[in-house]
């Protein structure tokens, strides 16, 4: 299993605070040791840094600590391989362009093979690596492509995030029986997050209080630098700070934008998946007190 982290911010935010705690989980305080990756949006551009080395001793992670990037939307992932070797092409987040937007995806879980559901004949997106996760991402992207290509003459627009939400909801319903499917997906404006078994979030807003990292000894006082316009939603597999986090229910599909929770749907998790997840959940380390 893996660790997911996503941020949705009203203002461009220096994300080094949340990544410091997250990176320590890549082998130091946790056992997620088969690579990691982070995607930062800077307006329309998206930079992806991945490494097949554990995050806590990755030179790319070290470089990122000293080179803070301000971003409104971030997706990060630390990988414990369940399928696919510790290779660069198997590191999340994965990225694809659709209608002039970069889309990124990271997954926590373990899916059965999708079979012929994701052949190239079904759309333009195909996996580069060998993970279940990238196959599921391509499945979702092919569904989005099919929708917007079919609607081209009706001026359907990928900026219609409600339409995007509904296609992701349908795709999640289709993929759900294949296994554990916690994910975060962003197009640079919205963050879509699904809780199959485990996902939490916290929304930070003005006036900010201090927050202590769960995985490190770093403490940052948000009150020192926040303004009333700032608002940040942090979504993670397990809480990263000693703030009060909201634990999602299995089946929650959420949409965040500019640090606010905008929409929620329920996509039931099949009983068979919940049954297997009892084993999988026990594999996740406990949150440090």
* Residue of 11, 28, 57, 60 interacting with its own copies (CB under 8 A): 60
Which residues have CB under 8 Å from 141's CB, separation 6+?
Answer: 96, 98, 103, 123, 125
Which listed range, 14-22, 90-98, 198-206, 266-274, lies at the site for its own copies (CB under 8 A)?
Answer: 90-98
Residue with Cβ nearer its own copies (133 or 241): 133
Show the tokens assigned to 272. Answer: 């068979």
Q: How far apart are CA 261 and CA 201, in angstroms?
A: 10
Residue 42 within binding range of its own copies, rule CB under 8 A = yes
Placement of tokens 């992932």 in the chain: 77
* Residue of 59, 115, 207, 228 interacting with its own copies (CB under 8 A): 59
- Residue 69 CB, shortest distance to its own copies, in Å, is 10
Is 9 catalytic? The answer is: no
Q: Strand ranges (DSSP E) for the chain?
A: 3-14, 36-42, 45-51, 70-78, 94-98, 101-111, 179-186, 190-194, 200-205, 210-212, 219-221, 231-236, 246-247, 252-257, 260-266
Taking residue 223's Cβ as centre, other Cβ atoms within 10 Å add up to 11
- Residue 274 CB, shortest distance to its own copies, in Å, is 32
Residue 70 within binding range of its own copies, rule CB under 8 A = no
* Residue of 67, 207, 224, 228 interacting with its own copies (CB under 8 A): 67
Residue with Cβ nearer its own copies (101 or 174): 101
Residue 98 within binding range of its own copies, rule CB under 8 A = yes
**Nearest Cα to 1, choosing from 289, 201, 277?**
277
Taking residue 162's Cβ as centre, other Cβ atoms within 10 Å add up to 10
Residue 270 within binding range of its own copies, rule CB under 8 A = no
* Residue of 48, 117, 202, 220 interacting with its own copies (CB under 8 A): 48
Residue 127 within binding range of its own copies, rule CB under 8 A = yes
* Residue of 70, 112, 128, 247 interacting with its own copies (CB under 8 A): 128
Residue with Cβ nearer its own copies (57 or 99): 99
- Residue 169 CB, shortest distance to its own copies, in Å, is 22
Q: How far apart are CA 254 and CA 92, in angstroms?
A: 20
Residue 257 within binding range of its own copies, rule CB under 8 A = no
Residue 45 within binding range of its own copies, rule CB under 8 A = yes
- Through-space distance between the first and last CA atoms of the chain, rounded to whole angstroms: 21
Residue with Cβ nearer its own copies (85 or 268): 85
Residues numbered 133 to 172 that lie near its own copies (CB under 8 A) are: 145, 148-149, 152
Which residues have CB under 8 Å from 135's CB, separation 6+?
Answer: 111, 113, 114, 118, 127
Residue 202 within binding range of its own copies, rule CB under 8 A = no
Give the CA distances from residue 215 to residues 5, 66, 117, 240, 242, in Å, rounded to whole numbers and listed in that order.
Answer: 14, 19, 39, 7, 10
Q: How far apart are CA 69 and CA 16, in angstroms?
A: 8
Contacting positions for its own copies (CB under 8 A): 42-45, 47-48, 50, 59-60, 63, 66-67, 87-89, 91, 96-102, 120-121, 123-129, 145, 148-149, 152
Annotated catalytic sites, by residue? 2
């Amino acid at each position: 299993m893996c660790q997911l982290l996503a941020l949705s911010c009203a203002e461009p935010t220096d994300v080094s605070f949340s990544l410091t705690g997250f990176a320590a989980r890549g082998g130091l305080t946790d056992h997620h040791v088969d690579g990691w990756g982070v995607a930062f949006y800077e307006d329309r551009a998206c930079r992806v840094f991945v490494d097949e080395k554990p995050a806590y001793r990755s030179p790319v992670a070290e470089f990122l600590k000293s080179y803070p990037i301000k971003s409104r939307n971030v997706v990060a992932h630390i990988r414990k391989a369940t399928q696919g070797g510790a290779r660069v092409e198997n590191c999340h987040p994965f990225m694809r362009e659709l209608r002039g937007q970069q889309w990124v995806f990271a997954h926590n879980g373990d899916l059965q093979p999708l079979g012929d559901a994701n052949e190239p004949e079904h759309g333009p997106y195909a996996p580069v690596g060998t993970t279940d996760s990238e196959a599921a991402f391509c499945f979702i992207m092919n569904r989005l492509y099919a929708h917007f290509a079919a609607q081209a003459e009706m001026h359907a627009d990928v900026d219609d995030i409600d339409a995007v939400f509904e296609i992701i909801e349908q795709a999640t319903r289709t993929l759900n029986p294949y296994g554990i499917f916690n994910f975060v997906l962003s197009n640079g404006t919205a963050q879509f997050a699904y809780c199959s078994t485990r996902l939490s979030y916290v929304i930070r807003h003005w006036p900010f209080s201090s927050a202590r990292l769960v995985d490190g000894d770093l403490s940052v006082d948000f009150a020192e630098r926040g303004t009333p316009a700032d608002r940040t939603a942090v979504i993670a597999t397990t809480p990263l700070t000693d703030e009060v986090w909201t634990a999602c229910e299995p089946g929650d599909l959420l949409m965040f934008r500019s640090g606010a929770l905008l929409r929620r749907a329920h996509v039931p998790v099949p009983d068979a998946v919940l049954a297997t997840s009892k084993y999988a959940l026990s594999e996740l380390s406990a949150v440090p007190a």
